[in-house]
Structure 1
């Protein structure tokens, strides 16, 4: 089934046998069993086998079907109570990041995204930067090309600085650069990765600068990483919220 998932037009028995290292009769028998179960179908003209739509429908129901926002809500509440600061869940929306949820801490803060439903260009703020840094390379390059002028208008990065910061975030596994645009504010964010190691969202802490000094920062980062890692295996890859998060707020892409 994994071998079939790597094809676009299906595959013949002989080629599948070569790829999986089994004899043609064995592969043919396995394929027939999968066809009988509705997981695989055979094209009548080309005789190639491919995964069926029924399989994808079944996969959509598998595991935890809760959408990302509902899945992460307990995490936000738990972290906010534990570290006594404001927590945010951000997800990618085109070339932007959108705030899907937040849990307020006791300190008055200002953020780039504002309230739930607010958006910001990928690369502005720790949460959106964590998402940008861990996108698949081709998508990351497309975002850089589109967003670089937007970031330059805010005097945040030139291209060299942006790429250097992306590499730094990827190496350390979190984003924590203070741009100085929000005076007195500080933050740190970690990506929420899918099973392929690509970002789908980010957990972000926003607080006053005094509360994210070098003595406290490592503890906060460790808590965020632990929670983000626990979320990864529970993500439903068919969650429509991951593809078009702005629809839940009535906005456009």
Structure 2
């Protein structure tokens, strides 16, 4: 590689957004396009690794199971599995975005984050949350309930007649990589069923998924 060729390659990569040059240090850094590709790959990995566990959850509960991952101040649904119960709760499609804190999966992601990150998300998402009728006070109450109960719950708040519960997926390095959630009609979301059947099952699969993510990271 001659120096001229190297600069030409760098210029081409910069033009398409794969890298950018820091104006002060003059060093080349990864650009937004490569960051986006990496994010898509990560989503694909976690969705693939979660598939069997989600199918187990759907079979056990007969309800709908969702997997969401954080991206900036948003939660993105990356996978969904449907159970056999005749009334299905399909409140999220794969690819749908919600503000962190709105909906059970997005709420579990929000609540599992550190204080500083939660405060930053609140600042960024205030108007977006308002589109769903959620205020900062509402979110604080949901966070307090999460701390007390150990799971996130959305009881008929976002879509009338449907409720959801979720737990975060947290790796050994304390990274919040996703959230698993059950969605069902309100009548199926009794407190007893949530706490004796649904949440224990979610915690088990979230732990297994976190372990698989740890193993992948270790290579």
Question: Shared fold by TM > 0.5?
Answer: yes
Q: Contact 2:172–2:214 at 8 Å: present in 1 too? A: no
Equivalence for 1:154: 132
Equivalence for 1:205: 182
Q: What SS is found at the alignment partner of 1:215?
A: helix
Q: Contact 2:170–2:210 at 8 Å: present in 1 too? A: yes
Equivalence for 1:108: 88
Question: CA separation of 1:179/1:147 partners in 2, compared to 1, >3 Å: closer, same or farther?
Answer: farther
Higher RCO, 1 or 2 (CA under 8 Å, sep at least 6)? 1
Q: Contact 2:76–2:96 at 8 Å: present in 1 too? A: yes
CA distance in 2, matches of 1:76, 1:224: 9
Equivalence for 1:186: 163
Aligned length: 171
Equivalence for 2:30: none
The Cα of 1:213 is off from its aligned counterpart by: 1.0
CA distance in 1, matches of 2:172, 2:148: 19
Question: CA separation of 1:173/1:206 partners in 2, compared to 1, >3 Å: closer, same or farther?
Answer: same
CA distance in 2, matches of 1:179, 1:208: 9
Q: Structure 1 unaligned runs (5+)?
A: 1-65, 240-253
Q: Structure 2 unaligned runs (5+)?
A: 1-43
CA distance in 2, matches of 1:110, 1:73: 17
Give yes or no for the alignment of 1:224 onto 2:197. no
The Cα of 1:137 is off from its aligned counterpart by: 2.5
CA distance in 1, matches of 2:215, 2:134: 33
What TM-score, normalized by structure 2, do the two folds share? 0.71
Larger strand proportion of the pair: 2
- For the pair shown, the structure with the greater C-alpha radius of gyration is 1
Runs of 4 or more above 3 Å deviation: 236-239
CA distance in 1, matches of 2:150, 2:61: 20
Q: Contact 2:180–2:206 at 8 Å: present in 1 too? A: yes
Q: What SS is found at the alignment partner of 1:100?
A: strand
Q: What SS is found at the alignment partner of 1:235?
A: helix
Question: CA separation of 1:237/1:165 partners in 2, compared to 1, >3 Å: closer, same or farther?
Answer: farther
Give yes or no for the alignment of 1:88 onto 2:73. no
> Could you give the per-residue CA deviations for residues 157-213 of structure 1, whole angstroms, max 9, x where no partner exists?
2x2332232232133221113253311111110101121334211001111111111
Larger helix proportion of the pair: 2
CA RMSD of aligned residues (A): 2.0
What TM-score, normalized by structure 1, do the two folds share? 0.62
Q: Contact 1:174–1:190 at 8 Å: present in 2 too? A: yes
